[in-house]
A and B are shown apart, each in its own frame.
Chain A
Amino acid sequence: MVTDVAAITPVNLITGFLGSGKTTLLQRLLGDPALGDTAVLINEFGEVGLDHHLLERIDDTMVLLQSGCLCCTIRGELSEAIKALHSRRARGLVPNFRRLLIESTGLADPFPILSTVQTDPVLKHHFRLGNVIATVDAVNGAGQLARQPECIKQVAVADRLVLTKTDLAAAETTEALVARLRRLNPSAPLWRAAEDRLDAQALLAHDLFALGGKSAIARRWFADEVAGQSHVHDRNRHGDGIHAFALVFDGPVDWTLFGLWLTMLLHRHGTAMLRVKGILNVEGSPTPVAVHGVQHLVHPPVHMAAWPDGDRRSRLVFVVDGLDRAAIERSLTVFLSLGARTPTSAVA
């Protein structure tokens, strides 16, 4: 069994609705020399797979899953394909890749894919989830978000957003779409593919697990994300079922009580809890603990090497579908007070 985090291969998912530029993004990323040791797994929904030809890179670390959509019909195949890659790597039959990129079909709900990687009894010892990157088409994105629930979920669970075709869309269309994306996912850094330089490191490598190391850069971006999140409640006075809000707690948090509460909440409301993310000032721990969950799935908690800034409060951000902020805040407050009556008053 692998026990060293550094030996565990990160898995990144590139998601996004049909025609939103996933393959183009993948092509750009794979052109970066920093990603030379990346294996790629492509899932296409159709009789003839094309995307792998568009990438102009056919080798033994490129796998095509073609017989259905990853999120429903071929989850077993996903698991088997990753295990086969791992086995071939271990036997020296393919180059020693250090990252795996999965490009899903545009129709896929990202959650089952993430769940497969994190909960498969074999995979979880050799692979871990990295950032989820969602592409959104600036021209058609608003319509897709209005009509396709998968599209909303892809945006809501993403760690990184890439807005594509911004050179083809009117500026006001793009800005309206960015505002909509910010309501669905206020924390994910956003790139405009036509104008911005796509930094493969920032898109892929700066993930939750980097917080456990000594990278000051990783701590800074996380601080920026969390700082942005603590204001998100101002942006959500809209009729959307999906909205984001932040809770800030003074004082140390009892880890056992927090785990009890979040587990109960996700068991009952995991489908509506699109994301929960934040840092906790855990009682007895000098440095914070980062938690990150997507629906029913919670990443292993990361013990950060240091506080990102001078603020020692616990900060949690929720992206929820139809759940009431006040109810969540009241519930968390009462659960955290079950033990030694920790003085944790929600102040967000």
Chain B
Amino acid sequence: MCALCGVLGGAGHWTDAAARPGVFSRNTDPVQRRRERYDRVTAASRVLRHYGLTLSDWQSSSYVLSTATGKTELVDNLGHLWAAAEKLLGRPCDPLDPALIRRLEADGD
């Protein structure tokens, strides 16, 4: 935990699996880890913008999830992201929601 801000680190989500023999991980070196975090923020933002939310990296240790009105939540990893998004929105974030899928499909066209 960071002594200044109280952010819990290294929660061990499977998308951030520690690099060790036999485990697929992009945590192998600092450059790859930063690139993965950047890609993750970019990809998640494409989904989150349909909910009016934005995501940014915070010191390569956490992410900041924000609403258009400035409410924010710090999240450790993807496992916490969706719970935080639902808390800010007050409604579920469902990847099977036909409305979301239609909007994402329209984005790609």
Which A residues fall within an 8 A CB radius of B?
3-6, 119, 124, 209, 211-213, 254-257, 259-261, 263-265, 267-269, 282, 285, 289, 298-303, 323-324, 327-328, 330-331, 334-335, 337-339, 341
Q: In whole angstroms, what is the CA distance A118 to B43 when docked?
A: 27
Q: Is the CB of A5 within 8 A of B43?
A: no
Which B residues fall within an 8 A CB radius of A?
12-15, 17-18, 20-26, 36, 39-40, 43-44, 46-47, 78-79, 81-83, 92-96, 98, 101, 104-105, 107-108
Q: Is the CB of A256 within 8 A of B93?
A: no
Q: Contacting A334 at CB < 8 Å: which of B14, B36, B92, B101?
A: B101
Supply 9 A–B pairs (Cβ within 8 Å), ascending by A.
A4-B20, A5-B20, A259-B14, A263-B15, A264-B82, A300-B23, A303-B22, A324-B96, A331-B95
Q: Contacting A261 at CB < 8 Å: which of B22, B24, B95?
A: B95
Q: Is the CB of A298 within 8 A of B96?
A: no
Question: Which single residue of chain B is at the shortest CB-CB distance from A3?
Answer: B20
Question: Which single residue of chain A is at the shortest CB-CB distance from B81?
Answer: A263
Q: Is the CB of B23 within 8 A of A302?
A: yes
Q: Is the CB of B96 within 8 A of A260?
A: no
Residues of A within 8 A of B12 (CB): 119, 124
Residues of A within 8 A of B96 (CB): 265, 268-269, 323-324, 327-328, 331
Which one of B22, B46, B94 has the greatest number of beta carbons of chain A within 10 Å?
A: B22
Question: Which single residue of chain B is at the shortest CB-CB distance from A257?
Answer: B43
Known: A264-B47, A298-B14, A324-B96; 6 extra A-B contacts, CB below 8 A, are: A259-B78, A260-B78, A261-B95, A264-B82, A282-B24, A303-B22
Which one of A5, A119, A124, A334 has the greatest number of beta carbons of chain B within 10 Å?
A: A334
Question: Which single residue of chain B is at the shortest CB-CB distance from A264?
Answer: B95
Q: Contacting A256 at CB < 8 Å: which of B39, B81, B108?
A: B39
Q: Contacting B14 at CB < 8 Å: which of A209, A299, A330, A341?
A: A299
Question: Which single residue of chain A is at the shortest CB-CB distance from B12?
Answer: A124
Given A124-B12, A260-B47, A334-B108, are A265 and B95 neighbors across the interface (CB < 8 Å)?
yes
Q: Is the CB of A302 within 8 A of B105?
A: no
Q: Is the CB of A302 within 8 A of B101?
A: no
Q: Which 10 residue pairs are nearest across A and B when measured between Cβ atoms?
A: A212-B22, A303-B24, A267-B82, A259-B15, A263-B78, A301-B24, A300-B17, A298-B14, A289-B24, A264-B95
Residues of A within 8 A of B107 (CB): 338
